[in-house]
Amino acid sequence: MRNYKKKNRKLKRDHQKGLSTGNKGVKVSCIGIDEEGKGIIDIKGKRISVPYLLEGETAIVDVTKKRNFTTAKVHQLETKSRDRVVPKCQHFYQCGGCQLQHMTYEAQSNYKEKLVEGLMGGYGKVNRIITMDQPYDYRNKIHSTLSQGKNREIISGIYEQYSHRVIPIDRCIIQDPRADEIIKSIRELMKSFKMRPFDEDTGQGFLRHILVKTGFTSGQIMVVLVVSKTIFPSKNNFVKALLKKHPEITTIVMNVNNRRTSVVLGNTEKVLYGKGTIEDTLCGQVFQISPKSFYQINPIQTEKLYNKAIEMAKLKKSEVIFDAYCGIGTIALNLSSKVKKVIGVELNKDAVQDAIKNSKRNKIKNARFYQGDAGEFMSDMAEAKERVDTLFMDPPRSGSDEKFLSSIVKLKPKKVVYISCNPVTQARDVEYLTKYGYKVEEIQPVDMFPHTHHVECCSLLTRKK
């Protein structure tokens, strides 16, 4: 109990520290929260975003002007919102991985629903957001960067926001705790094996990153060691020692990245233990996951999202479905039993290979996957007068470009189910589609990433007759 109280006092001190930096400035009231989870203030008609400030709060802020860019920080909080809580993570104000831990989960959900309403509400009614029952420990993909601390000790963690300094993190409250323990053990083994972390400035050192992928349903665990050289000293002994500490590990892969780049994974891989892949089950289908393949971060919420998307589409057995940005086939394979045929297109070659393997693994015969540009593929189908009844699309955060959207208009699917991890770009794309013959029928926000400002949104559009 004493340790708990001591830890809680420290979290409260860090909470106040995160809200008290700089010199006294201007007294302001927070009038809203922006798309990045920052409070919005108005100073002489100019709107400025302030981190860690909640709607309805008043505060003294320090305002900094650099050329045409103005920033502000909270110096002193004067009145607090009822939605404010002390963040559970001691790294909240330095890490930047989460942006909303200072809000109750109910307030986070309301903020995200309101955000989608503001962006998409002009096209139709927005459903109540689908929340998560237990909004912790949900990330099944964990990336940790290695570095050296002030005392030359080996540390692992996440880059501090707006910097390239690694914050040492032993426990992240939104990550699978099994991964945190494995990363901690690897750090300890590095010391006994005299293995140095990679230094980006000097180019010296060996281990750059640790990537851990966990199967929520299967329990399988993949560990990817991203190294700077092809020769791994005492490789077999290191693997043996890691497996002794963590026999639950299913496979270990060495990934070689010897480039001066911010990209985590290199092009060369070598399996050190196991098959080099793991499996997990999503909506009743089994998927193979490789080091480079994309698989949804939060499987619990992904099932809710996909089930809702399929429900929206009201699929028929006679339908032909096109799955753009199909990845490893998670959406395509889950709806295949409900339709006549599924065509999946993906630019990433590794993902397409995984999709084909997943199709065979699940004995699905009416799904075909192709490597290529989905927009060009659809344009070719339109020219050949091929029919598609429903289009599913789940683009990256940047959304789709006009070329891709114009190919949808050419192909003329009766329904478009647009899944987006960024409602800002989704609203932009939906504006284009509604100009060219489509109408929004339903809008469903889903909280896929609790404690962050990110929100998933699924929209159904139908072609006007």
CATH of 116-133+298-463, one of 3.20.20.70, 3.40.80.10, 3.40.228.10, 3.40.50.150: 3.40.50.150
The predicted pLDDT at position 21 comes to 43
Q: Is 421 a catalytic residue?
A: yes
pLDDT reading at 362 higher than 60: yes
Q: What would the CATH number be for the domain defined by 141-281? A: 2.40.50.1070
164-168 contacts, C-beta under 8 A, 24 or more apart = 164/200, 167/91, 167/94, 167/95
Residue 4 has pLDDT above 70, yes or no: no
Residue 54's pLDDT band, with cuts at 50, 70 and 90, is: very high
Tokens of 382: 């339109």
Give the three-class secondary structure for 211. strand
65 or 136, which is more confident? 136
Say whether pLDDT at 300 is over 80.
yes
- Measured CA to CA, the distance from residue 22 to residue 17 in angstroms comes to 11
pLDDT at 1: 41
pLDDT at 141: 96
pLDDT at 8 over 60: no
The answer to whether 399 touches 427, Cβ cutoff 8 Å, is: no
Q: What share of the chain is helix, strand, coil (3-state, %, to 5)?
A: 30, 30, 40
Residue-wise pLDDT for 196-240, tens only, equals 999 888 888 999 999 999 999 999 999 999 999 999 999 999 999
The two structure tokens encoding residue 20? 């008290």
Please report how many Cα atoms fall inside a 13 Å half-sphere around the Cα of residue 253, on the Cβ side.
25
Candidates 223, 270, 225; CA nearest to 246 is 223
Domain boundaries, the chain: 2-86, 116-133+298-463, 141-281
Set 89, 98, 421, 457: catalytic member: 421
CATH number, span 2-86: 2.40.50.140
Helix (H, G, I), strand (E, B) or coil at 147: strand
Specify the length of the chain in residues: 465
- Compute the mean pLDDT over every residue in the chain, rounded to the nearest whole number: 92
% of the chain with per-residue pLDDT over 90: 82
pLDDT of residue 161: 77
Is-above-0.85 flag for pTM?
A: yes
The residue written with tokens 């940005």 in the block is 325
What's the whole-number mean pLDDT along residues 63-91? 91
Same fold? 116-133+298-463, 141-281 = no
Tens of pLDDT along 104-141?
999 999 999 999 999 999 999 999 999 999 999 999 99
- Quick one: pLDDT band at residue 68, thresholds 50, 70, 90? confident
58 neighbors 27 (Cβ within 8 angstroms): yes
End-to-end CA distance of the chain, in Å?
67
* pLDDT > 70? residue 188: yes
CB 388 within 8 A of CB 320: yes
β pairing state of 32-33 and 39-43: antiparallel
Of 464, 439, 463, 443, the closest CA to residue 455 belongs to 443
Helices (H), 75-151: 92-95, 105-120
Q: Please tell me the predicted confidence (pLDDT) of residue 16.
A: 52
C-alpha distances in Å from residue 306, one per residue of 16, 133, 324, 420, 460: 40, 17, 15, 12, 13
Q: Is the pLDDT of residue 174 over 80?
A: yes
- Tell me the C-alpha distance between 308 and 297, whole Å: 18
